[in-house]
Protein backbone atom coordinates (compact mmCIF):
# COMPACT_ATOMS: atom_id res chain seq x y z
CA UNK A 1 0.00 0.00 0.00
CA UNK A 2 1.58 3.35 -0.89
CA UNK A 3 2.20 5.75 1.97
CA UNK A 4 1.43 8.76 -0.12
CA UNK A 5 -0.59 9.39 -3.21
CA UNK A 6 2.41 10.02 -5.42
CA UNK A 7 2.29 12.54 -8.24
CA UNK A 8 -1.27 13.67 -8.92
CA UNK A 9 -2.63 15.30 -12.05
CA UNK A 10 -5.70 17.50 -12.15
CA UNK A 11 -8.22 16.16 -14.65
CA UNK A 12 -10.95 17.99 -16.41
CA UNK A 13 -14.43 17.09 -17.52
CA UNK A 14 -16.49 19.08 -20.00
CA UNK A 15 -20.26 18.86 -19.68
CA UNK A 16 -22.03 17.56 -22.76
CA UNK A 17 -24.78 20.18 -22.54
CA UNK A 18 -25.08 23.80 -21.56
CA UNK A 19 -25.82 24.40 -17.91
CA UNK A 20 -28.98 26.35 -17.13
CA UNK A 21 -28.14 28.61 -14.24
CA UNK A 22 -30.33 29.71 -11.34
CA UNK A 23 -30.47 33.18 -12.88
CA UNK A 24 -32.05 31.67 -15.98
CA UNK A 25 -28.97 32.25 -18.12
CA UNK A 26 -27.29 29.41 -19.98
CA UNK A 27 -23.59 28.67 -19.68
CA UNK A 28 -21.62 26.44 -21.99
CA UNK A 29 -19.42 24.73 -22.65
CA UNK A 30 -18.71 24.11 -18.96
CA UNK A 31 -15.51 22.47 -17.82
CA UNK A 32 -14.90 21.27 -14.29
CA UNK A 33 -11.45 20.46 -12.85
CA UNK A 34 -11.20 17.51 -10.47
CA UNK A 35 -8.78 15.04 -8.95
CA UNK A 36 -9.28 11.54 -7.62
CA UNK A 37 -7.38 9.51 -5.05
CA UNK A 38 -7.76 5.84 -4.13
CA UNK A 39 -9.74 3.21 -5.99
CA UNK A 40 -13.44 2.96 -6.69
CA UNK A 41 -14.65 -0.42 -5.44
CA UNK A 42 -16.60 -2.86 -7.58
CA UNK A 43 -20.07 -1.89 -6.39
CA UNK A 44 -19.11 1.81 -6.46
CA UNK A 45 -20.13 2.29 -2.86
CA UNK A 46 -16.96 3.89 -1.49
CA UNK A 47 -16.91 7.24 -3.30
CA UNK A 48 -16.52 10.42 -1.28
CA UNK A 49 -16.81 13.85 -2.85
CA UNK A 50 -14.61 16.54 -1.30
CA UNK A 51 -15.49 20.19 -1.85
CA UNK A 52 -13.18 23.10 -1.27
CA UNK A 53 -13.41 26.57 0.24
CA UNK A 54 -13.40 29.99 -1.43
CA UNK A 55 -9.78 30.09 -2.57
CA UNK A 56 -9.27 26.33 -2.86
CA UNK A 57 -9.05 24.17 -5.93
CA UNK A 58 -9.35 20.56 -7.06
CA UNK A 59 -5.83 19.82 -5.81
CA UNK A 60 -6.80 18.61 -2.34
CA UNK A 61 -4.16 15.95 -1.76
CA UNK A 62 -0.89 14.51 -3.03
CA UNK A 63 1.70 16.41 -5.02
CA UNK A 64 1.74 17.90 -8.47
CA UNK A 65 4.97 17.64 -10.39
CA UNK A 66 7.19 20.46 -9.13
CA UNK A 67 4.92 21.32 -6.17
CA UNK A 68 6.52 23.06 -3.19
CA UNK A 69 3.66 21.89 -1.00
CA UNK A 70 0.97 19.24 -1.33
CA UNK A 71 -2.78 19.75 -1.87
CA UNK A 72 -4.75 21.89 0.57
CA UNK A 73 -6.19 18.97 2.57
CA UNK A 74 -3.28 16.58 2.21
CA UNK A 75 -3.16 16.20 6.00
CA UNK A 76 -6.70 14.78 5.86
CA UNK A 77 -6.71 12.73 2.66
CA UNK A 78 -4.39 9.77 2.06
CA UNK A 79 -3.52 6.30 3.21
CA UNK A 80 -4.46 5.93 6.88
CA UNK A 81 -5.67 9.53 7.11
CA UNK A 82 -9.14 10.84 8.02
CA UNK A 83 -10.33 10.20 4.47
CA UNK A 84 -8.47 6.94 4.03
CA UNK A 85 -7.56 6.31 0.41
CA UNK A 86 -6.96 2.63 1.25
CA UNK A 87 -10.69 2.36 1.85
CA UNK A 88 -12.33 5.14 -0.09
CA UNK A 89 -12.33 6.59 -3.57
CA UNK A 90 -11.98 10.33 -3.12
CA UNK A 91 -13.12 12.82 -5.73
CA UNK A 92 -12.14 16.44 -5.21
CA UNK A 93 -14.03 18.85 -7.40
CA UNK A 94 -13.43 22.48 -8.27
CA UNK A 95 -16.30 24.97 -8.81
CA UNK A 96 -17.57 26.88 -11.80
CA UNK A 97 -16.78 30.58 -11.53
CA UNK A 98 -13.28 29.69 -10.32
CA UNK A 99 -9.93 30.10 -12.00
CA UNK A 100 -8.32 26.75 -11.31
CA UNK A 101 -9.19 24.82 -14.43
CA UNK A 102 -12.97 25.19 -14.35
CA UNK A 103 -15.03 27.55 -16.46
CA UNK A 104 -15.03 31.01 -14.95
CA UNK A 105 -14.68 34.70 -15.80
CA UNK A 106 -11.08 34.22 -16.95
CA UNK A 107 -12.09 31.46 -19.41
CA UNK A 108 -12.44 32.20 -23.09
CA UNK A 109 -16.02 32.92 -24.15
CA UNK A 110 -16.44 30.78 -27.29
CA UNK A 111 -18.80 33.35 -28.76
CA UNK A 112 -16.26 36.19 -28.69
CA UNK A 113 -12.94 34.38 -28.52
CA UNK A 114 -12.03 36.61 -25.57
CA UNK A 115 -12.09 36.05 -21.81
CA UNK A 116 -15.58 36.43 -20.35
CA UNK A 117 -14.69 39.03 -17.73
CA UNK A 118 -17.90 40.49 -16.34
CA UNK A 119 -19.95 39.02 -19.18
CA UNK A 120 -19.63 35.73 -17.30
CA UNK A 121 -23.04 35.05 -15.75
CA UNK A 122 -23.42 35.25 -11.99
CA UNK A 123 -23.34 31.71 -10.62
CA UNK A 124 -24.74 30.37 -7.35
CA UNK A 125 -23.75 27.53 -5.04
CA UNK A 126 -26.68 25.61 -6.55
CA UNK A 127 -25.17 26.06 -10.02
CA UNK A 128 -21.77 24.88 -8.76
CA UNK A 129 -23.40 21.75 -7.33
CA UNK A 130 -25.43 21.13 -10.49
CA UNK A 131 -22.19 21.10 -12.48
CA UNK A 132 -20.56 18.74 -9.96
CA UNK A 133 -23.55 16.41 -10.27
CA UNK A 134 -22.79 16.03 -13.97
CA UNK A 135 -19.21 15.11 -13.07
CA UNK A 136 -20.40 12.40 -10.66
CA UNK A 137 -22.78 11.09 -13.36
CA UNK A 138 -19.86 11.05 -15.78
CA UNK A 139 -17.86 8.96 -13.28
CA UNK A 140 -20.90 6.60 -13.25
CA UNK A 141 -21.43 6.87 -9.53
CA UNK A 142 -25.09 6.85 -8.54
CA UNK A 143 -24.65 7.23 -4.80
CA UNK A 144 -21.87 8.94 -2.87
CA UNK A 145 -20.87 7.43 0.45
CA UNK A 146 -20.22 10.94 1.63
CA UNK A 147 -19.94 14.54 0.53
CA UNK A 148 -17.59 16.56 2.71
CA UNK A 149 -16.19 20.05 2.90
CA UNK A 150 -15.38 23.03 5.06
CA UNK A 151 -16.52 26.64 4.80
CA UNK A 152 -17.80 27.18 1.23
CA UNK A 153 -17.22 23.43 0.81
CA UNK A 154 -19.65 22.85 3.69
CA UNK A 155 -22.25 25.02 1.99
CA UNK A 156 -21.89 23.00 -1.20
CA UNK A 157 -22.31 19.85 0.90
CA UNK A 158 -25.58 21.21 2.31
CA UNK A 159 -26.74 22.09 -1.19
CA UNK A 160 -25.90 18.57 -2.40
CA UNK A 161 -28.10 17.01 0.29
CA UNK A 162 -31.01 19.22 -0.76
CA UNK A 163 -30.53 19.18 -4.56
CA UNK A 164 -29.71 15.48 -4.92
CA UNK A 165 -30.95 13.72 -1.78
CA UNK A 166 -30.89 10.26 -3.37
CA UNK A 167 -27.19 10.55 -4.16
CA UNK A 168 -25.84 11.47 -0.74
CA UNK A 169 -25.58 8.81 1.95
CA UNK A 170 -23.82 11.09 4.38
CA UNK A 171 -22.85 14.73 4.60
CA UNK A 172 -19.88 16.09 6.51
CA UNK A 173 -20.48 19.81 6.98
CA UNK A 174 -17.53 21.65 8.51
CA UNK A 175 -17.41 25.27 9.71
CA UNK A 176 -20.33 26.29 7.52
CA UNK A 177 -23.77 27.85 7.70
CA UNK A 178 -27.10 27.69 5.89
CA UNK A 179 -26.78 31.32 4.87
CA UNK A 180 -24.55 34.34 5.37
CA UNK A 181 -25.29 36.91 8.04
CA UNK A 182 -24.99 40.64 7.31
CA UNK A 183 -21.53 40.56 8.91
CA UNK A 184 -20.32 37.79 6.60
CA UNK A 185 -21.72 39.60 3.54
CA UNK A 186 -20.12 42.83 4.77
CA UNK A 187 -16.61 41.37 4.89
CA UNK A 188 -17.04 40.03 1.37
CA UNK A 189 -18.34 43.36 0.13
CA UNK A 190 -15.28 45.21 1.43
CA UNK A 191 -13.10 42.75 -0.47
CA UNK A 192 -15.10 43.22 -3.66
CA UNK A 193 -14.96 46.99 -3.29
CA UNK A 194 -11.18 46.81 -2.89
CA UNK A 195 -10.93 44.94 -6.21
CA UNK A 196 -13.35 47.20 -8.05
CA UNK A 197 -11.65 50.34 -6.70
CA UNK A 198 -8.33 49.23 -8.18
CA UNK A 199 -7.80 51.25 -11.41
CA UNK A 200 -6.30 48.15 -13.02
CA UNK A 201 -9.58 46.30 -12.59
CA UNK A 202 -11.00 48.09 -15.68
CA UNK A 203 -14.54 46.79 -15.13
CA UNK A 204 -13.15 43.27 -15.26
CA UNK A 205 -11.44 43.68 -18.66
CA UNK A 206 -7.86 43.36 -17.46
CA UNK A 207 -6.90 40.03 -19.03
CA UNK A 208 -3.67 40.32 -20.97
CA UNK A 209 -2.91 43.58 -19.13
CA UNK A 210 -1.92 44.51 -15.57
CA UNK A 211 -4.15 42.66 -13.11
CA UNK A 212 -5.87 44.48 -10.19
CA UNK A 213 -3.19 43.19 -7.86
CA UNK A 214 -3.59 45.76 -5.10
CA UNK A 215 -7.33 45.28 -4.92
CA UNK A 216 -7.20 41.49 -4.86
CA UNK A 217 -4.38 41.61 -2.34
CA UNK A 218 -6.44 43.77 0.04
CA UNK A 219 -9.45 41.47 -0.45
CA UNK A 220 -7.28 38.53 0.52
CA UNK A 221 -5.90 40.36 3.57
CA UNK A 222 -9.42 41.02 4.84
CA UNK A 223 -10.19 37.36 4.25
CA UNK A 224 -7.15 36.29 6.24
CA UNK A 225 -8.12 38.44 9.21
CA UNK A 226 -11.52 36.75 9.30
CA UNK A 227 -10.00 33.27 9.02
CA UNK A 228 -7.83 33.69 12.10
CA UNK A 229 -8.88 34.19 15.70
CA UNK A 230 -7.77 36.95 18.02
CA UNK A 231 -5.89 34.31 19.97
CA UNK A 232 -4.12 32.73 16.99
CA UNK A 233 -3.06 36.19 15.78
CA UNK A 234 -1.83 37.04 19.25
CA UNK A 235 0.14 33.81 19.46
CA UNK A 236 1.56 34.09 15.96
CA UNK A 237 2.37 37.81 15.89
CA UNK A 238 1.40 39.74 18.99
CA UNK A 239 3.05 43.14 18.57
CA UNK A 240 6.27 41.62 17.30
CA UNK A 241 8.23 43.87 14.97
CA UNK A 242 9.73 42.73 11.67
CA UNK A 243 13.46 43.40 11.07
CA UNK A 244 15.66 44.93 13.75
CA UNK A 245 13.10 45.52 16.45
CA UNK A 246 12.95 49.28 16.04
CA UNK A 247 9.96 51.33 14.93
CA UNK A 248 10.65 52.88 11.56
CA UNK A 249 8.38 55.91 11.88
CA UNK A 250 7.08 55.53 8.35
CA UNK A 251 4.39 53.55 6.54
CA UNK A 252 6.41 50.62 5.39
CA UNK A 253 5.50 47.61 7.51
CA UNK A 254 6.74 47.63 11.12
CA UNK A 255 4.73 44.81 12.59
CA UNK A 256 5.01 41.14 11.73
CA UNK A 257 1.28 40.94 11.26
CA UNK A 258 1.49 43.63 8.57
CA UNK A 259 4.27 41.78 6.79
CA UNK A 260 2.33 38.55 7.01
CA UNK A 261 -0.83 40.04 5.53
CA UNK A 262 1.07 41.77 2.73
CA UNK A 263 2.87 38.56 1.90
CA UNK A 264 -0.39 36.59 1.90
CA UNK A 265 -2.03 39.23 -0.28
CA UNK A 266 0.84 39.45 -2.75
CA UNK A 267 1.30 35.71 -3.14
CA UNK A 268 -2.44 35.24 -3.59
CA UNK A 269 -2.42 37.53 -6.60
CA UNK A 270 -0.03 35.08 -8.30
CA UNK A 271 -2.49 32.23 -8.01
CA UNK A 272 -6.00 33.67 -8.09
CA UNK A 273 -8.12 35.71 -10.47
CA UNK A 274 -9.73 38.88 -9.10
CA UNK A 275 -12.95 38.41 -11.07
CA UNK A 276 -13.27 34.87 -9.73
CA UNK A 277 -13.03 36.35 -6.24
CA UNK A 278 -15.97 38.64 -7.11
CA UNK A 279 -18.08 35.81 -8.55
CA UNK A 280 -17.41 33.25 -5.84
CA UNK A 281 -17.90 35.63 -2.90
CA UNK A 282 -21.16 36.73 -4.52
CA UNK A 283 -22.28 33.10 -4.85
CA UNK A 284 -21.60 32.63 -1.14
CA UNK A 285 -23.49 35.77 -0.19
CA UNK A 286 -26.46 34.63 -2.29
CA UNK A 287 -26.43 31.21 -0.66
CA UNK A 288 -29.56 30.64 1.39
CA UNK A 289 -30.43 26.98 1.82
CA UNK A 290 -33.92 27.65 3.15
CA UNK A 291 -34.74 30.59 0.85
CA UNK A 292 -38.39 31.48 1.37
CA UNK A 293 -39.08 28.12 2.95
CA UNK A 294 -38.60 26.97 6.48
CA UNK A 295 -35.22 25.31 7.08
CA UNK A 296 -36.83 22.31 8.79
CA UNK A 297 -39.03 21.50 5.82
CA UNK A 298 -36.10 21.91 3.40
CA UNK A 299 -33.89 19.58 5.41
CA UNK A 300 -36.78 17.12 5.86
CA UNK A 301 -36.43 16.27 2.20
CA UNK A 302 -32.78 15.24 2.57
CA UNK A 303 -31.94 11.55 2.85
CA UNK A 304 -28.46 11.77 4.32
CA UNK A 305 -26.93 11.17 7.67
CA UNK A 306 -25.11 14.30 8.85
CA UNK A 307 -21.89 15.01 10.69
CA UNK A 308 -21.66 18.71 11.57
CA UNK A 309 -18.33 20.05 12.82
CA UNK A 310 -17.54 23.51 14.16
CA UNK A 311 -14.65 25.08 16.06
CA UNK A 312 -14.72 27.06 19.30
CA UNK A 313 -12.69 30.04 18.08
CA UNK A 314 -14.29 30.34 14.61
CA UNK A 315 -16.00 33.72 14.66
CA UNK A 316 -16.57 33.88 10.89
CA UNK A 317 -18.76 30.77 10.86
CA UNK A 318 -19.44 30.50 14.59
CA UNK A 319 -20.67 27.30 16.23
CA UNK A 320 -24.16 28.67 16.73
CA UNK A 321 -24.60 28.62 12.95
CA UNK A 322 -23.72 24.92 12.95
CA UNK A 323 -26.15 24.39 15.81
CA UNK A 324 -28.91 25.97 13.67
CA UNK A 325 -28.33 23.24 11.10
CA UNK A 326 -28.24 20.57 13.81
CA UNK A 327 -31.42 21.84 15.44
CA UNK A 328 -33.33 21.80 12.15
CA UNK A 329 -32.03 18.30 11.40
CA UNK A 330 -33.12 17.07 14.82
CA UNK A 331 -36.58 18.52 14.42
CA UNK A 332 -36.88 16.88 11.01
CA UNK A 333 -35.84 13.57 12.56
CA UNK A 334 -32.56 13.12 10.66
CA UNK A 335 -29.57 11.18 11.89
CA UNK A 336 -27.10 13.83 12.99
CA UNK A 337 -23.90 13.93 14.99
CA UNK A 338 -22.30 17.24 15.83
CA UNK A 339 -19.16 18.34 17.57
CA UNK A 340 -17.62 21.66 18.49
CA UNK A 341 -13.89 21.01 18.41
CA UNK A 342 -11.79 23.04 20.79
CA UNK A 343 -9.31 25.05 18.72
CA UNK A 344 -7.64 28.43 18.80
CA UNK A 345 -7.14 28.61 15.02
CA UNK A 346 -10.39 30.39 14.18
CA UNK A 347 -12.05 29.57 10.86
CA UNK A 348 -8.74 28.20 9.54
CA UNK A 349 -9.17 25.32 12.01
CA UNK A 350 -10.93 23.21 9.37
CA UNK A 351 -7.65 23.18 7.44
CA UNK A 352 -5.20 22.80 10.30
CA UNK A 353 -7.01 21.18 13.25
CA UNK A 354 -6.38 17.70 11.94
CA UNK A 355 -6.38 15.75 15.19
CA UNK A 356 -10.00 16.19 16.23
CA UNK A 357 -11.33 15.81 12.69
CA UNK A 358 -9.22 12.68 12.21
CA UNK A 359 -10.67 11.21 15.39
CA UNK A 360 -14.29 11.70 14.43
CA UNK A 361 -14.46 11.28 10.64
CA UNK A 362 -13.07 7.70 10.28
CA UNK A 363 -15.44 6.02 12.78
CA UNK A 364 -18.33 8.07 11.41
CA UNK A 365 -17.60 6.91 7.85
CA UNK A 366 -17.15 3.38 9.16
CA UNK A 367 -20.69 3.43 10.59
CA UNK A 368 -22.15 4.91 7.41
CA UNK A 369 -20.36 2.29 5.26
CA UNK A 370 -22.11 -0.55 7.10
Partner 1 sequence: MRLAYKIILDFIEPNARVLDLGCGDGSLLSMLIKERHCTGTGVEIDEDAIYKCVENGISVSHGDIDTELLDYTDKRFDYVILNESLQEVLHPKKVILEALRVGKKVIVGIPNFCHWDARAQIFFEGRVPVTKELPHEWFDTPNLRFLSLKDFRHFCRKNDIKILAEKTIAGDKIISLEPNLFAKIGLYLLEK
Residues within the interface to partner 1 (CB under 8 A): 305, 323, 326-327, 330-331, 333, 335-342, 356, 359-360, 363-364, 366-367
Q: For residue 335, which of 359, 292, 370 has the smallest C-alpha distance?
A: 370
- In the complex, least distance from residue 322 CB atom to partner 1, rounded to whole angstroms: 10
Catalytic-role residue among 151, 177, 217, 319: 151
Least distance to partner 1 from the beta carbon of 299, Å? 13
Distance CA 115, CA 179 (A): 31
Q: Rounded to an integer, what distance in angstroms lies between the CA atom of residue 280 and that of residue 268? A: 15
- Which CB, 264 or 312, lies closer to partner 1? 312
Catalytic residue among 57, 254, 314, 348: 314
Q: Considering the complex, state which of residue 106 and residue 305 has its C-beta at the smaller distance from partner 1.
A: 305
Closer residue to partner 1 in complex, CB, 225/296: 296
251 to 112, 119, 267: CA distances (angstroms): 44, 38, 21
CB of 292 to partner 1, least distance (A): 23
DSSP character at residue 197: T
| DSSP for residue 79 | T
Contact 166, 137 (CB under 8 A): no
Minimum Å gap between C-beta 339 and partner 1 is 5
For residue 185, the tally of other CB atoms under 10 A from its CB is: 16
Looking at the Cβ atoms of 61 and 325, the one nearer to partner 1 is 325
Strand partners, 12: 33
Q: How far is the CB of 43 from partner 1 (least distance, A)?
A: 22
CA pair distance 209, 152, nearest whole angstrom:
30
151 in active site: yes
Concerning whether 314 is annotated as a catalytic residue, the answer is yes
Helix (H, G, I), strand (E, B) or coil at 2: coil
Scanning the chain, the segments in alpha helix (DSSP H) are 125-138, 152-163, 182-196, 213-227, 230-236, 256-271, 274-286, 295-300, 319-331, 349-352, 354-369
Q: Using the minimum distance from each CB to partner 1, give the nearer residue, 248 or 359.
A: 359
Concerning whether 92 is annotated as a catalytic residue, the answer is no
With beta carbons less than 8 A apart as the criterion, state whether 102 and 32 touch.
yes
**Residues that are catalytic:** 151, 314, 347
Amino acid sequence: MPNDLGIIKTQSFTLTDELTLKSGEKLGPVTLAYETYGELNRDKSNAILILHALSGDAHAAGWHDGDKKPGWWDNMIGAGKAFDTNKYFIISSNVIGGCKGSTGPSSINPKTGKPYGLSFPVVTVEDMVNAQKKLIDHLRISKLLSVAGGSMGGMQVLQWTVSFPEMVRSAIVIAASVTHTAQQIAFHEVGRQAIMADPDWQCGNYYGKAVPARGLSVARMIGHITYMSKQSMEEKFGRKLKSDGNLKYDFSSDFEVEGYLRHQGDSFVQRFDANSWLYITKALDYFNLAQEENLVSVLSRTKSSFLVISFTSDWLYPSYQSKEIVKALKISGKDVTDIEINSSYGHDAFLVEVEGQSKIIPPYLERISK
